[in-house]
Structure 1
Amino acid sequence: MGKQFQKQVRALSKTLLSFLILVLFIFGGLYYWANYTPQSDIVEIPLEETADDYDKVENGVHVATGFIDDKGMEATIQNCTACHSAKLVTQNRMSREGWKATIEWMQETQNLWDLGANEELILTYLSKNYAPTDKGRRQNLEDIEWYELK
């Protein structure tokens, strides 16, 4: 009885496995077709960006990238945004040594090219405009009309 029972269990296991594979295949196909979008329905919307818009600076900030308008901005845009978003730069704050170490790390591990004469200009720009800031504690709130929540 033991061998016969084992054969039946194996047969049942194979049947259940086949059934599960069939169910997954059916539901996968249904999911695919439910979310299918024919290529002819996709319409490309052209960007209306001109060279004039790209160079636009408002309130001391380069509109297209968010970089602070200052000497060295163009070189920084050309060398940094070729590989990553400008936001990756503008969200960081580092000393000159920190920016230098970051550039060296990118050159060693991320295939950043030698910046040559632009390196000094870029480091000066970044360390001036994206230096660490002392935030400290926020200022006390004054002249506030408080109310009770009910």
Structure 2
Amino acid sequence: MSEELEFFKQVKKVYHLLLLLFSLFVIAGGALVYYMANPEFFNFNKATEVAVVVEELDPDRIENGIHVATGFVDAEGMMTVVRNCTACHSSKLILQNRMNADRWNATIKWMQQTQNLPDLGKNQEIIVNYLATNYPPVDTGRRPGLTNIDWYELD
């Protein structure tokens, strides 16, 4: 009886092996048919080309009087500011500040003393003129006093 049981176990193993081989044959045959229909699908060495529309950003592009890359006002000296100032910090740091020429010069001097900013030479005057002209201090506080008002008496 045990010989028969051993025989059936061996037949079962052969059956499973044949079933596995048949399944692999069917899968490989299907892959071969698919490859014949779509050979590019299996070409893993070739980079897949994807059509993507990317707007090229010109670093010097000006739109509506504003330098697109930095947000600076397009005026004389702007590119000197871009080259000398935005190499170390964001243009937003400049845009949020508004100072007169003396304060811009003092800020540059502070950066030279504490932040290792090198001497700007003749560019400093160009930079300060640009900044003081386009980003001057803005008066804040109370509105100006009322004038030319027809006052009337309350009863």
TM-score for the superposition, normalised by structure 1: 0.56
Q: How many residues align?
A: 91
User: C-alpha offsets along residues 16-75 of structure 1, whole Å, 9 cap, x if unaligned?
Assistant: xxxxxxxxxxxxxxxxxxxxxxxxxxxxxxxx675x621111111100000010000000
Q: 2:103 aligns with which of 88, 98, 102?
A: 98
Cα displacement (A) at 1:134: 2.0
- Mapped partners of 1:123, 1:58: distance in 2: 23
Aligned-pair identity (%): 60
The equivalent residue for 1:59 is 64
Cα displacement (A) at 1:133: 1.3
- Mapped partners of 1:87, 1:115: distance in 2: 21
Residue 81 (structure 1) aligned with residue 115 (structure 2): no
Residue 127 (structure 1) aligned with residue 132 (structure 2): yes
Map 1:27-42 to 2 at 5 A: none
- Mapped partners of 1:137, 1:69: distance in 2: 31
Cα displacement (A) at 1:136: 4.3
- Mapped partners of 1:134, 1:61: distance in 2: 23
Cα displacement (A) at 1:79: 0.5
Map 1:17-32 to 2 at 5 A: none
Distance 1:94 1:75, change over 3 A: same
- Mapped partners of 1:121, 1:72: distance in 2: 6
Q: RMSD between aligned alpha carbons?
A: 1.9
Residue 70 (structure 1) aligned with residue 75 (structure 2): yes
Q: Which structure is larger by alpha-carbon Rg, 1 or 2?
A: 2
- Mapped partners of 2:68, 2:141: distance in 1: 29
Q: Any unmatched runs of 5+ in structure 2? A: 1-53, 144-155
Cα displacement (A) at 1:135: 4.1
Cα displacement (A) at 1:137: 5.1
The equivalent residue for 1:3 is none
TM-score for the superposition, normalised by structure 2: 0.54
User: C-alpha offsets along residues 99-132 of structure 1, whole Å, 9 cap, x if unaligned?
Assistant: 0000000000000011011111001000000101
